[in-house]
């Protein structure tokens, strides 16, 4: 099996979820998506993660981004776990969880790392664009919970840089200055970035965020 890389088309699949059967590409539609995996149901760190995503769903919605989780357990187990998540995290799970008992999706996305554990999925995260291409991949160890503020930050960056000739600097947050692409000439800057710019070095030019 070939390893999935940035820019590859996200593999399509049909799977059962807690919200019914989905075809992944059809479910994504023309928006963005986040697919994230969990080692198994009834695990403590994942319980906090799924609760956090439920609380952040409005933020994902604002970014035209759907979220979907995956675990190698079945629907009945998922539904029982959702009750625990809702109770302990004081929220309501409002997104689907894939039942990947045959590990078909886990294998497609290379979510099982034998040297970590040969049966459980690692904590993978994939951000997928409207073109169905993989835009970001992060793999966390089972012991470390994910930072969903960081995923929102990355989505903001991806959506900005998809439509403007800019990149976002270290620790950038929505509303802060961005870096002008090296491919943009100084002559093009006034037309592309009418808010002005600063030239720190010929290769390092900044401008206010252009889409706000």
Q: Which are the catalytic amino acids?
A: 46
Sign of the alpha-carbon torsion through 87, 89, 92, 93 = negative
Eight-state DSSP code of residue 9:
B
Angle between helices 44-62 and 148-163 (to 10 degrees): 30
Cα 56 to Cα 66, 92, 127, 136, 206: the distances in Å are 11, 11, 16, 19, 30
Question: CB of 51 within 8 A of CB of 85?
Answer: yes
Q: Do the strands 65-71 and 97-99 form a parallel or antiparallel pair, or are they unpaired?
A: parallel
Instruction: Write phi, then psi, for 24 (nearest 5 degrees).
Output: -55, -50
Task: Of 108, 136, 117, give the one whose Cα is nearest residue 14.
Answer: 108
């Amino acid at each position: 099996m070939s390893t999935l890389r940035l820019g590859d088309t996200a593999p399509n699949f049909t799977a059962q979820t807690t919200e019914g059967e989905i075809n992944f590409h059809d479910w994504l539609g023309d928006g963005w998506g986040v697919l994230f995996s969990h080692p198994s149901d009834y695990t403590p760190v994942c319980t906090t993660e799924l609760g956090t995503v439920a609380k952040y769903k409005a933020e994902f919605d604002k970014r035209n981004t759907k979220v979907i989780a995956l675990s190698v357990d079945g629907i009945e187990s998922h539904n029982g776990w959702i009750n625990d998540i809702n109770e302990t995290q004081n929220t309501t799970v409002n997104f689907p969880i894939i039942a990947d008992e045959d590990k078909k999706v886990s294998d497609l996305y290379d979510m099982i790392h034998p040297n970590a554990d040969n049966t459980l999925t690692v904590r993978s995260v994939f951000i997928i664009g409207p073109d169905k291409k993989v835009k970001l991949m992060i793999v966390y160890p089972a012991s470390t919970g994910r930072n969903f503020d960081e995923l929102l930050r990355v989505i903001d960056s991806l959506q900005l840089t998809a439509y403007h000739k800019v990149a976002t600097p270290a620790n950038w947050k929505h509303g802060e200055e961005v870096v002008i692409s090296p491919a943009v000439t100084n002559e093009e800057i006034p037309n592309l970035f009418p808010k002005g710019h600063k030239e720190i070095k010929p290769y390092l030019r900044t401008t206010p965020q252009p889409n706000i």
